[in-house]
Structure 1
Amino acid sequence: MIPGAESHGVNVDIDRQEVERLLSVTPADVEAADELTFARNVFVPLTTACRYTCTYCTYYDPPGQASLLSAEEVRDICRTGAEAGCTEALFTFGDDPDERYTAIHRQLEAWGYDSIHEYLRAVSEIALEEGLLPHANPGDQTREQMSQVADVNASMGVMLETTADVRAHAGPRSKSPGQRLATIRTAGELGVPFTTGILVGIGEDWRDRAESLLAIRELHERHGHVQEVIVQPVVENERWDSGSPDLATMRRATAMARAALPPEVSVQSPPNLAPVPELLDCGVDDLGGVSPVTDDHINPEHAWPAVDRLREIAAEAGVPLSERLPVYERYLDDGWCSDRIETAIETDTDAGKRFRAVLDDGQ
């Protein structure tokens, strides 16, 4: 039983034979992709507050130290990103930060917002006004919370990380795999194109990795909403000194993801955290969001590679590299996006022309 699944009403039936199959997968059992994609984004860390205290995470600040970007700061970041040719505004914040952080709640109240999700809706509108497509990754969400912001986001996401009960998530505010799965399920029920992934090296074992990938697959098979799965290594930082997975582990985990997932679901490898050139033959076909103007605020010690470096990686592998939007084109073609997002892409504005150019170049 996945920890927390029953209490959150998540019914995921893990096929034991499939688990055994995945445990035997090696890089030799999968094929390299025939092309690579990436998105050009701007990272908007809306707040550094989070109700969780995962031992590997440097993103959160304790109460009294956490910050909250103002609407004016968000607009400036988005405008800079749009001017640099970005198409995505990646909004991040910790899970329900206004629940634990009194100062954050009071600041939102002073600005006229009842909750962080009401504020997220407002800043997503700002991103659209400045010519970017919002992609929000605000952690666990209830159906009400996600419904509040889904129509102003081209896509959304949350990392499953693992279905295992690991010590890295422990403590008085432990992270529940069941709640994460409930968020992924909610996105499917609401028809939100979604990004998720596994975090490798936080105390899970190989069986846990297989079960995590199969849980994602089952939810996708029900709803068809998972556009990409990230296979991300934990990296050492000031709060995590328990090591990072070695190359052999990342190669096997990446191949396992490719073998577990349907062909239409991309396997993403983050090029600032993972040894991408050594993983391409393991089924990687997407390099995620890369920003020419902002840091990776979740992993600030690991700078994004330049787009030219991504081109070099693709050239060395002998495959083409193309830019994509934060929502995969099939979801646009099949009518998944809201009228607000479709209008932003189709309208004859500078932003719309930029979005269409990305779509045309990717064909």
Structure 2
Amino acid sequence: MITDQEQYDIDITIDEADVERVLSTAPQDVDTPSELTFARNVFLPLTTACRYTCTYCSFYDVPGDATLMSPEEIRETLRSAAQAGCTEALFTFGDKPDSRYRAIHAQLDEWGYDSILAYLYRACEIALEEGLLPHSNPGDLTEQEFRRLREVNASMGVMLETTADIEAHSGGRRKSPGQRLNTIRAAGRAGVPFTTGILVGIGETERDRAESLLAIAELHERYDHVQEVIVQNVVPNERSDFEQPSVETMRRTVAMARAALPEAVSVQVPPNLSPTRELLDCGVDDLGGVSPVTDDHINPAYKWPALEELQEIAESAGLPLYERLPIYRRYLPDELRSSDVPAAGNDRNRRWISDRVSEALFASDETGRQYRRIATRTQLFGAPN
């Protein structure tokens, strides 16, 4: 049951027959993908301040302890990333810090920014200046905020996590399913290529997972903006006593995702958190963003695999491995899409990227050429044995 839809005027109806279809899907019912993809990124935790206090999250810091990256730190990190061949600048931070984080607001004001989103805009500009394509996860946004930020982002995202009303989201600063669905809808209306996903093992049921996946699918059917859906298992950390879901649970959930989502939407698992090798035959076709230069700041105890490890994972399943950009090929301009990749959306004239991002993609320098090389598909490390 999807809760609090009326508050956000969300009209999503999940058909019972679809729920039963997804719930009845087993790993053997879905096809193994024909390839695997990943993005080479750099992870920038813009601020650890957050208005939410989810019980499983170790990313946010309480007022007085929260950090804020300076413009100098941002540029230095991005330069190191560019030298390492990264193409994606992943900006992640807690949802809109409120008045509890007075020190954060005071620092932003001193630097000349009236909000964290205004500062994010500048951080994305720095990324473009240093030769990386921004992908921002700034929490819940309005359509107007998405339209502003799409000017400097290749793609954006927010995790739905679940449509269930769970205890892990309870309290005075609760994250609500309706609010998250509203954010995914707002991104679609603004024409933002988007990443979302579910979090497995935070108190939801298997039926909740099916309904969450089908809710994402319905919003995608309206706007055709969801690039990928992450199926992420919760992991133990200093704040959480949730047990990591079993391999069998993850296999079933990944298969359910493949059955619930349109074929064009990728199913992703994070290779530093998931039993990835055991999931490849369940419909996984993307391994997400992997950083050669920074930690996973949301799950710092879980190290990113090296690129050679990704290749070993792909080879174990007999799959070719391709590097991709943060924006998927079907959202790219016609000049960067091969004829076998149809354009996203029903409107052939719809532009999914802004002029500023397009300028970066078509730049005549080495960075622009690198973007185009990756967009036109060069298999990493050659063919698998």
TM-score, scaled to structure 2: 0.93
Are residues 1:156 and 2:156 paired? yes
Q: CA deviation at 1:98?
A: 4.2
CA contact (8 A) 1:194 1:228 kept: yes
Q: 2:22 is aligned with what amino acid?
A: L
Pairing 1:83-102 to 2, within 5 Å after superposition: 83-102=83-102
Are residues 1:103 and 2:99 paired? no
Are residues 1:135 and 2:135 paired? yes
Are residues 1:344 and 2:360 paired? yes
**Regions of 4+ moved over 4 Å:** none
Match of 2:10?
Answer: 10
Distance 1:344 1:296 in 2: 26
Q: CA deviation at 1:359?
A: 1.4
Distance 2:112 2:101 in 1: 17
CA contact (8 A) 1:98 1:104 kept: no
Deviations 1:116-159 (A, max 9, x none): 11100001000000000000001111223222211100000000
Match of 1:279?
Answer: 279
Are residues 1:116 and 2:132 paired? no
Q: Is the alpha carbon distance of 1:154 and 1:186 closer, same or farther for their aligned partners in structure 2, counting shifts above 3 Å?
A: same
Match of 1:79?
Answer: 79
Q: Determine what percentage of the aligned residue pairs are the same residue.
A: 65
Distance 1:307 1:345 in 2: 24
CA contact (8 A) 2:143 2:189 kept: no
Match of 2:331?
Answer: 331
Match of 2:312?
Answer: 312
Q: 1:175 is aligned with what amino acid?
A: K
Are residues 1:361 and 2:363 paired? no
Pairing 1:140-289 to 2, within 5 Å after superposition: 140-289=140-289
Structure 1 residues 1-10 or 175-184, which shifts more? 1-10
CA contact (8 A) 2:150 2:353 kept: no
Structure 2: stretches of 5+ with no match in the other structure: 334-342, 344-350, 380-385
Distance 2:63 2:220 in 1: 36
Q: Which SS does the other structure have where 1:47 is aligned?
A: coil
Distance 1:171 1:131 in 2: 42
Deviations 1:282-331 (A, max 9, x none): 00000000000000000000000001100011111101000000000110
Q: Is the alpha carbon distance of 1:99 and 1:341 closer, same or farther for their aligned partners in structure 2, counting shifts above 3 Å?
A: farther
Q: Which SS does the other structure have where 1:100 is aligned?
A: coil
CA RMSD of aligned residues (A): 1.0
Q: CA deviation at 1:39?
A: 0.1
Q: Which SS does the other structure have where 2:7 is aligned?
A: coil
Match of 2:66?
Answer: 66
CA contact (8 A) 1:51 1:99 kept: no
Match of 2:296?
Answer: 296
Distance 2:329 2:25 in 1: 30
CA contact (8 A) 1:98 1:116 kept: no
Distance 1:99 1:135 in 2: 26
Distance 2:161 2:238 in 1: 20
CA contact (8 A) 1:50 1:100 kept: no
Distance 2:98 2:40 in 1: 30
Distance 1:350 1:104 in 2: 37
CA contact (8 A) 2:146 2:192 kept: no
CA contact (8 A) 1:267 1:285 kept: yes
Distance 1:188 1:331 in 2: 13
Distance 1:262 1:199 in 2: 20
Distance 1:282 1:40 in 2: 24
CA contact (8 A) 1:41 1:289 kept: yes
Q: Which SS does the other structure have where 1:7 is aligned?
A: helix
Q: Which SS does the other structure have where 1:323 is aligned?
A: strand
Distance 2:189 2:376 in 1: 30
Q: Which SS does the other structure have where 1:228 is aligned?
A: strand
